[in-house]
Structures are given as C-alpha cells and as structure tokens.
Amino acid sequence: ERREGSRGAALRRGLVEPGYTAMGDCTADNCNADWNEVLTNMDPYGWGYYGIAFGLGLSVVGAAWGIWLTGSSLVGAAVKAPRIRSKNLISVIFCEATAIYGVILAIILLSKMTTPKNFSDVMPDDFDYAQWYFAGYSLFTSGLSVGLTNIASGISVGVAGSSCALADAQDSSLFVKILIVEIFASALGIFGIIVGIIQSNNAQYPS
C-alpha cells in the first residue's frame, strides 16, 4: 500500500475538514481572519523600515527615470547643436534633487527607529501599544508619500528637461521659458518632503 506524505495528508484533510490548515488546527493564534488582522499582526518596526525603503527607493527611481529622459534627448540634440550641452545640465541637476530628497527623508526616519532597551517574549502591562503602532504606520506613510511624490516629480522634471533640450537646440530663446516649467515640476518634490517630515514628526517608538 502506498503511503501518503505528510503534506499530501494535510491537504487531503483540509479538503474534508473545514477549518484545518497544513500548519495545524486553525485558531485565533495562527489565522488571519481579515486584512485588518493581517496588517495588525505585522511588526511596527517592519512598517517603519518599509517606509524608509519606499521613500528612498522610489525617490531614486524617479531621479533615474528623469535623468534617463533628459539625458537621452540632451545627448541626441547636442549632436546638431553642441552649444546646449552645458546649460541643459541644470535639468539633470533638478532630477538628481529628487533622489537627494529621498536620502534626507531616509536619514530623518532612521533617527526615529529606536529599539527597546530590553527584549522579552512578554510585553509589560504598561507598554504603550498605541504609540508603538502609530510610530510604525506614521513612518510607513511618510516614506510612501514622499517616495510617490518624488517619482512623479522626477518623471515630470525629466519630460520637461527633455523638451527643454530639444527646444533650446531649435531656438535658444525658449530655454529660460521652459526652465520655469522645470522649476515648478521640481517643487513638487519639495512639497512632498515637507509633508513627509510633518507626518513623521510625532512618530516615536516606546522604549
């Protein structure tokens, strides 16, 4: 008689016995009943580091995307109009600024990632769970909002910088006019980092 493996037995048992999982009996301790419970069971320290990763990572993606858009047009247009090379590098600098905003935010958020003095399997009765979760969610949303703002700002600056290089190659009088558009596009990243810093201002993990 062929013996059934433990995984197969668990799967077969799950088909005939509702509430049984391959990890064991489904109880309140090992099952996530809804998304609220799933999110609540995630470590607040993890939320904080996710926010730092999103804030820095998306900002760098936005900067790289913008530099790619601007640089490709700048190099191509400079073949026919070499005079545009130097002054159009300011568009690349505006794109790079979005990555700098992400680095600044990541440093600020990292300074708030304080760990408890003592670790224990059992939390003390007076442990401030509300502040614990608030800090995690606050740092996560702060990093995510800044990251999304900077990726939008980087792409916007890149498209405007690409157009600026092509327009400048055709008519040098258009450079300053389109540069103003880039400045407003770059300001979006500044708005994002200001709001992100305010969001994380009261985030402090309990000690």
Q: Quick: pLDDT tens for 30-52.
A: 666 677 777 777 888 889 999 99
Tell me the C-alpha distance between 98 and 82, whole Å.
27
The pTM of this model reads: 0.76
Instruction: Give the helix/strand (H/E) hosting 21.
Output: strand 20-21
Domains of the chain: 1-31 (no CATH), 35-199 (1.20.120.610)
d(CA 29, CA 129): 18
Helix or strand (DSSP H, E) at 50: helix 44-80
Look at residue 3 in the predicted model and tell me its pLDDT.
41
Q: Which amino acid is at 73?
A: S
> Could you count the other beta carbons within 10 Å of the beta carbon of residue 170?
12
Q: How far is CA 180 from the centre of its chain?
A: 27
